[in-house]
Structure formats: C-alpha cells, structure tokens
Chain A
C-alpha cells in the first residue's frame, strides 16, 4: 500500500512544482476569451484600462495641486483639480506621466486610455477620523483640493502641509487599495456577484469574474510584465528612467495601459528595493494576481466551483495582506524621514529648505497613514494611536500643531508639541507599525542602530555565574 501512495504524493509534488514554475515570470496576460457565446474578434480577455485611466487622473491631480499662486488663481486651480477628481465631459490632457527625453509615452489624453472615468466615484466614503472635522474620506479629499488650490504651489508653510503629497498618498489608499481589497477582491468574489458563466456586461468579451479580477489588478498599477523586472527596474520605470525595462513590446513608446508602473506597485517595489531588502512584495502580489487570473481562465467560461472560489479567496488574501504591508512600510519610511528632518531643522542650517522637506515627508507620512485606514479592515486601537501620534499636522518650530479645522476650512493650531516630543512620536509610530503589521523592510528605521547593537551584544539569558 505504501508504494502507490508514495508515487501519488511525489506525482503531486512534481505537478505542484511544474505548475508553480510554469507561470513564474510570466506576464499578466494575455489570457484567452472564454465567455460563452462571444462572437467578436477579440482574442485577449484581459482589460483594465479604466483603472489605468484613474491612475493617470491621480498622477495629474497631484501635479495640478502645485499650480496655485497663493490665492489669485484659486478658483481656476480648484476647477482644474476637480476636473481630474470628478472626471470631465471634455477629454483631459494627461499632466503626468508625460513624455520626456528618452521616455516617450504613447497616450497624451485620458480618453485615449478610457473614457468617462473619475476618482471621486471610487473614493473611500467611510469616516476618516485621521483628519479633523469628522468628515467622510471623499469630503476630506475635496477639502484638501480646495486648500491646495488656494495655496502657493501646494505648500502651506504655517501649518506644514504639502497638499500634493497628502492628496496623492491618501488617494493611493482611498481609491486604489480600497477598491481592490474592499470591492473587487471582496464581494465581487461571491458566487452570485459577477458570475463567471456570464459576460461582465452585455456583449463584453470577458466574464464577470475575469473582469473583476482584472480591475483589481489594474488598481495595483503594475506593468503587465513587472514580474520579470527587478525592484530597481520597476522603480526606474515609474520614475520614467528606464525605457528598455518599460518597453515590453519593443515599439519604442510606453503604453500606459500595460507598460507603466503606477503608485501602489511603485511603492511595493520601493519597499523591496530599500530598507532591509528582505521583502518580495511586488513578486508576491503580482504572482497572486496572475495565478488567480489563470485559475479563472482555466474555468473556461463556466461558473466557478466553491473550491475554485476558495482558492481565489486565498490569492485575494495574499494580495490584501501584502498590499496593506506596503502601505505600512511606506508610512514607516516617512516617519523615519520626518524624524531625520527634525534633526535638520534643529541644526538651523537652511531652515526654509529643511521645513519644506519636512512638510513634504509629513504629507507622505500622513497620506499613507490615511491610506492604511481606507481599506477593508478596521484597524481599531492601532489607528487611534497612530492618528494621535502623527496628529493633524506636523509639530512646527513654534511648538504648536494643528488640532482642528473650523467650518470655513481654517486650521486651529491648538495642540502643544515640541519638535523633540514629535521625534519620540515618530519612533513610536515606527514601533506601532512593526507591532501591528509585522513589516520587514523598515526603510529609515530610526532605532535600527539600537537593534544592530543589541544583536551584536547577544542575549543576556544565561545560566552562568561566578
């Protein structure tokens, strides 16, 4: 009895091995058209251009946030920003990413990617307690847009706000992360929601499940071939610095729909590239997406069995957990930057520049901490602690920070906080993130030197004595 059993298990192991390696390094798509009764000429069922359009709207919105001249053009800038946030009847120009020397981009307007898309409709609408005023996520974003438009180049030196960073990092969570983990990888995986034995919509060349999954992948923002690139290459593609790595089909231009790396994926690669270099967020998330998509394709247009959906749920869990970690890693990194910036401010050299960098990094820190709170999970006490430690604004050199916002959108600076105390808060934020999310990369770890020394000194538990 033992022998055949052994054979069966080794066969399974081999199959699992072959099955696993068969896909390794394989791009996201093309996948065949499986939808029953489709009569068109499409051969690839992968489609997520709507999500790419939203990434482009987001990148452009961030750029637009810096167009204010201190108040005179506030209405104009706000209208421009709202066009990208709410979408527009007109075909909007892509402000970012645009072609630059050595990195030509194929599309120059949003409609060339996908028509009729917006950010606001897909924005987190739950309560956002990380921001003053008891507002919903989308209202916070609208308020930030208004304040950005009235500022000088998106910067508020009194309260220490960098609006472009705040809006952008918050959006990475409130739109992309939220839509993926709280919608497409959540209720859309239910049996009766967007079933696999029907087209996603009338006449579509993809099934309900295929397209739902693709949309989640689209929000992640990786290039279809990102898995064959190193973290450094993915990072460089996003920075528009590595044409060769980006240009998967070799036609000399970058197709934003498939060849570019957007925000969430950029930060996954960034975490892998920096810090302790002991994470593989990009590969892990990408592979889960691709393998999940291959699983759906293998159903060949039939409804998914419970077992298949369970497997899919499993991939979705991997994606969600790791995606959340990339946001925690980014929050961690910028808490470390803020800590270092305070040293620079205290040193008194080039104070204006030091403060500008401080506000920028704080905006990224705050934005990512809000992104973390826009997902499916209620972070509970961890969120309350994090929001208290980071506050509603950075501690400023006068020892005060934002404590509230009034009905007219004016900040109240009523909380006492010295720069020294705020540095301690940053250390505590980092510790909280390690304890809550178990992150490993830990770029800009402000107490890394302590840990390294402790490691060197060795543990004290011993049973020896004189």
Chain B
C-alpha cells in the first residue's frame, strides 16, 4: 500500500460520519463543552477554552499513548476485518433458516405503511445494537478472561475523544462479532417479516439515532468535561459524567454504567450510578493491573493475564484443595 493511501486510511474515520471522531462531531463537541462551561458552570470564556484544550490532559503520557494506539490499531483492524464474519453472512444464513420454519409466514407484516417499517427498523437496530454492547461490556468486567482484555481501555489516566480507540485488538474482534450477530439478526428478521420496504432513516448516511447520539456530545464521554443530565434523564440516557464514573478508580464506582447511549439497561440490571456534583474523579488502574502509557505492556499484558486466568482455572479443576488460600485471590475487576 502506498504511504499516502495508508495515512489517508489511518485518518479516514475523521471524515466518516459513521465514526464518533468525525470532524463535524468533534467541532460540535467543542461547542457544546464551551457553552456548558460558560452558561452552566459560569466560567469565563477564556477559562472555558483553557479547560477544553487543557494541555496537561491532551498531551499527558496516557493521552499520547492513546494517539499511538489509534494508529497501531488501525493496522490490526485492516488485518482483522477480512476475518470477521460479516453481518451479511449471518443475515443470509438466518434468512435461509427462517424460510425453513413452517409456522413463520414470510411477509406477514408487509402491508404495514413503509414509513412505519423504516422507523421501526431504524429504532430496533439502534436499540439492539446498544443493548448488545451493554451486555458484552458487562461481561468484559465480569469475566476475568475478558477483563484482561478490557483493562486496556480502563488503563487511561486522562480521557480524550481518542480514548475511544484505546482498546485491545482482541476487544475490537469481539465487538465486531457482536455487531455482525446483532445487525445480521435484525436485518434478516425484518426483511423476512416486513419484506423489501425495510430501510434505514439516515442523516449523512448514518442511522439517524446514532447521528443524534453523536451530535449531542458523545465525544464528551471521554473527556474531563463532566456534563451531567437531570437525574430522571440519567435513568434513560448515559450522560458524559456517567461514563466518566465508569472510568473512575473509586471503589464505589466499580462495575457501574456499562451503557453506551441508553442508561435503561443499567437501570434494569442494577448497575446504574447517577453522576454526582463536584466530585473530582480519578481515572486509571493501579500499577499491578496495567500501565497507562507503556505500549508493550498495554498490548502484551492481556495475554499473560489471560494465561494466568486459564492456569488458575486449570489448577482449580484438577487440584480440588488449594494449597494456600492466598494463591486463590480473585482479581480486582471493575
């Protein structure tokens, strides 16, 4: 690949409205942050600017590691994406299978007005996508083997919009498979029952609901601007401050607010935590868990951690009585 092509590819997300770091969304994010700081926090415009473009945050060792990971992961994605089963493959297989179930009648709802079908599909695919992200995220915190991978994201000590790319390639793989299954299932089911009127309402080619999520400051989730919502709204939508709580090192914040767009899932499954006024959150992990900026540690430690988890499991199964209680410490997960 030509070097220019490669560079263009690395930064393609900035010009892709399907991505959170699309430059339009980033500009709006800055605008929202400034307005909020000035209007709600009563800060001077100059101070607000200083807070949004805080060099200590944007160029912290952790943030600089984020930028490197952003570029490195791009290479991994290029190798991984062809291996992923596409949502089309899953949708096609499911579409075949649905034909084989006798009591299901294809096109039963095809008389539904087109506008209703499209709206229903647009909403359903967004909700299913969001819910499956919640579930997988919850499992990533719950199961030691997955936590070893997800730690990478939580090792960030400062949060910037690029922190969204701070993930282990294996996590990218898992989320890619999740997306394929979730979207493939919804696509096949809708086309089977509603017929060929199924379509997506989009703005700039993006699901209109994702678009709304992004233009209302999705990038602030990974920032130090802790915009809070009213408590009732924080039961429905995750505010930037709530996701920052998810990254907090404080014990009471562990395993809370797994949601992406909707807080309903956290509310429903007991992991909701409302944001609090004027609390200074500290982000990151203890050194025993992960390093915030050493790239080798970030990429390789998950493997040794996973190996340790597997080894421990193995011992637990084949040696009924542990020799010492201390050797069986459960990992600190969040």
Contact = CB atoms under 8 A, between A and B. Distances in A.
B266 to A, nearest CB: 12
A226 interface: no
24 contacts: A421-B100, A449-B196, A449-B198, A450-B92, A450-B188, A453-B199, A454-B87, A454-B183, A456-B205, A459-B86, A461-B80, A462-B77, A462-B172, A462-B176, A462-B179, A463-B74, A463-B165, A464-B20, A464-B164, A464-B165, A464-B172, A465-B137, A466-B243, A466-B260
Contacts of B179: 460, 462
Query: Which range holds the interface residue count of chain A?
Result: 20 to 34
Given A454-B88, A457-B187, A466-B260, 11 more contacts: A421-B99, A424-B96, A453-B198, A456-B202, A459-B81, A460-B84, A460-B86, A460-B178, A461-B81, A463-B167, A466-B246
Interface string B80-113: 1100101110011001100110100011000000
Interface string A437-466: 000000000010111011011111111111
A420 B172 contact: no
Interface of A: 343, 418, 420-421, 423-424, 427-428, 431, 447, 449-451, 453-454, 456-466
A460 B187 contact: no
A454 B187 contact: yes
Interface of B: 18-20, 70, 73-74, 76-77, 80-81, 84, 86-88, 91-92, 95-96, 99-100, 102, 106-107, 125, 133, 137, 153, 164-165, 167, 169, 171-172, 175-180, 183, 187-188, 191, 196, 198-200, 202, 205, 207, 221-222, 243, 246, 260
Contacts of B18: 458
B164 A460 contact: no
Contacts of A451: 88
Contacts of A466: 133, 137, 153, 164, 221-222, 243, 246, 260
Contact of B19 (A449, A457, A464): A464
Nearest to B152: A465
Per CB-CB distance, the 4 closest pairs between chain A and chain B, nearest first, are: A461-B81, A460-B179, A463-B73, A454-B88
Nearest to B102: A420
B172 A457 contact: no
A456 B99 CA distance: 24
Contacts of A428: 96
A147 B221 CA distance: 74
B84 A463 contact: no
Given A449-B198, A466-B243, A460 B183 contact: yes
Contacts, number: 109
B84 A461 contact: yes
B54 to A, nearest CB: 21
B71 to A, nearest CB: 10
Given A454-B87, A460-B84, A464-B165, A447 B95 contact: yes
Contacts of B100: 420-421, 424
Contact of B164 (A423, A454, A465): A465
A276 to B, nearest CB: 16
Contacts of A421: 99-100
Contacts of B73: 463
Contacts of A343: 106-107
Contacts of A457: 87, 125, 183, 187, 200, 207
B221 A420 contact: no
B139 to A, nearest CB: 13
Contacts of B178: 460
A461 B137 contact: no
B216 to A, nearest CB: 15
Nearest to A418: B102
B172 A450 contact: no
B77 A465 contact: no
B147 to A, nearest CB: 14
Contacts of A459: 81, 84, 86
A465 B171 contact: yes
Nearest to B80: A461
Nearest to B166: A465
A385 to B, nearest CB: 14
B35 to A, nearest CB: 24
Given A465-B171, A466-B260, A460 B176 contact: yes
A354 to B, nearest CB: 16
A463 B96 contact: no
Contacts of A450: 88, 91-92, 95, 187-188, 191
Given A421-B100, A449-B196, A462 B175 contact: yes
Nearest to B19: A464
Contact of B92 (A418, A447, A456, A458): A447
B187 A431 contact: no
A454 B94 CA distance: 14
A450 B90 CA distance: 10
Nearest to A456: B200
